[in-house]
Chains A and B, each alone.
Chain A
Amino acid sequence: MFITQYIKEVFTGVKSLLIGMRRTGYYFTHHKEIITQQYPNEIPVMAERFKGEVIMLHDQNNEHACTGCTACELACPNATIKIVTKFDITPEGKKKKAIDKFVYHLELCTLCNLCIEACPTGAIKMGQNFEHSVFNRAELTKVLNKPGSKVRDDVE
């Protein structure tokens, strides 16, 4: 009784191993399916909505849509965004509030998308760049508005 039980166990054990080995053999002979990417040689194309970093959109006239309302600054959970405002003098001689610097700390950002949700004018969006490594930590603090850029006229 004990011996038959033992032999039975040996046979079921060998059978289960063979079933597994059949699968392994299948993949050994059918190695067309390559699922790894050779990363530095082939740069992956990121999805359209991929959250890589916050960028500010500029058009060809070097104009953006940021009015400096600080909605994104308030929405941010990590104090990633700091907006420095200044007063422009309009041609009519009036003072108008505008952004001086849109400071973005990439090293603090958790890419949660809340600032983009909060922006009423659609001035900022998430960029697809994912290669953020730098040698100096200070390089991660960025000013998003390009030098000399100003707010678009139709944005209120």
Chain B
Amino acid sequence: MLEEIAVNDTGDLIINVGPQHPSTHGVLHLIITLNGETIKNIDPNLGYIHRSIEKMCESLSYRQFIYVTSRMDYLSSHINNHACALTVEKGLQIEVPERAQYIRVIMDELTRLASHQLWWGAAAMDVGALTPFFHAFREREMINEIMEETCGARLTMNYNVPGGVMADIHPDFQRKTKAFLAFFKDKLPEYDELVTGNIIFQNRMKDIGIISKEDAISYGCSGPTARASGVSCDIRKTHPYSIYDKVQFDEVLETTGDSFGRYLVRMQEMRQSIHIIEQLIDNIPEGDFQAKTKAVLKLPKGEFYTRVETARGELGVYIVSEGGLTPYRIKFRSPGFSNLSALNHMAKGQKIGDMVAIMATLDLVIPDIDR
């Protein structure tokens, strides 16, 4: 027996994409209203991978809750951990040693590179090119090896602790990172040759999923998604944390606001990340990698908020403390959630095939949206 086709009152077709669909990059369920092949409405249905991380954190101490945040945005787990460590340090007014700050920023940028590489491969795969995925994973594997050597894990590092980093860098760290940068700078033009200049890719991306500057602000977009529309929102520039005020880098801005603009922003960000690491890698100061902290951490009564720039946008960590061993309330402002909310606006009036291209350049990580 044939399934009955879902049609609403006006004769529009309603289809479900996901929760198990390769183009949604996870368990995201989109209810799409179609008129022919044109999208009339997209209704994202969330909650398939909700693990109540915020509630879980309320029962964990200030040392313990950091590891959970690696499981939110698993592609920039080190940056998430950095944000949590910064919030706790802000509450306890811990002075972080300079060496730890340098290590943290280098690791952050390596994580951003790895995340953008994976995004590049996956985005090209979404629009039909399979080979770039393997190119991206070749370079990403080198970063993962550097991470594994120093942090002990490839994805969920848990390298940040309140007051610094968990262990000193591996003796090979600097040599391997420099070798990677030299290798990757060679390979980046290859990325452009294979995908950026490709006419099929450009036709799939240009003038697709346009979002204006005003709309990007009103939807709360952040990261490359907003910067492609010309919103200057790089937290590393606007509210520098750690040692970002000491390094030279440019905030990448595009004005087109389409999928290709978001693509170009991320490609340029990779170059900026390389530039940041190059400035720091030879100048890691000597000293402690971790500040002396008390055995039991107790945040004073009050509210603490920090924000950092992850690979996807602005991550905010909000802690309400009652002065106890555990946070009273924790809230994460995740970049993916706000970026996803703009999907309906971007994809309205486009063809259903373009929706996949728009989703690819939004760089959604579903565990980050649901938490």
Q: Are B67 and A49 in contact (CB under 8 A)?
A: no
Interface-lining segment among A88-96, A99-107, A112-120: A112-120
Contacts of A46 in B (CB 8 A): 148
Given A16-B197, A19-B193, A47-B148, A77:B170 Cβ within 8 A: no
Q: Are B193 and A20 in contact (CB under 8 A)?
A: yes
Bound Cα distance A46, B145 (Å): 10
Q: Which residues between 47 and 76 of chain B lie within 8 Å of chain A, taking CB atoms?
A: 60, 63-65, 67-68
> What is the size, in residues, of chain A's interface with B at 8 Å between Cβ atoms?
26
- Rounded to whole Å, the gap between the CB of B245 and the closest CB of chain A is 30
Interface residue tally of chain B, by bracket? 20 to 34
Bound Cα distance A85, B151 (Å): 32
Contact with B194, one of A20, A112, A113 (Cβ below 8 angstroms): A20
Q: Are A113 and B152 in contact (CB under 8 A)?
A: yes
Contacts of A75 in B (CB 8 A): 63-64
Bound Cα distance A10, B201 (Å): 14
Contacts of A77 in B (CB 8 A): 60, 64-65, 67-68
- Rounded to whole Å, the gap between the CB of A138 and the closest CB of chain B is 25
Contact with A49, one of B152, B194, B195 (Cβ below 8 angstroms): B152
Given A13-B199, A110-B156, A47:B166 Cβ within 8 A: no
A-B contacts, 21 listed (Cβ < 8 Å): A13-B199, A16-B197, A17-B200, A19-B193, A20-B193, A20-B195, A23-B194, A35-B134, A35-B138, A35-B141, A46-B148, A47-B148, A47-B149, A47-B170, A49-B150, A50-B148, A50-B152, A51-B153, A75-B64, A77-B60, A111-B156
5 further interface pairs, Cβ-Cβ under 8 Å (given A23-B193, A35-B134, A114-B63): A20-B193, A23-B190, A51-B152, A111-B152, A114-B158
The 3 closest A-B pairs by CB, nearest first: A13-B199, A77-B64, A112-B67
Residues in A lying within 8 Å of B, measured CB to CB: 12-13, 16-17, 19-20, 22-24, 35, 46-51, 75-77, 110-114, 117, 126
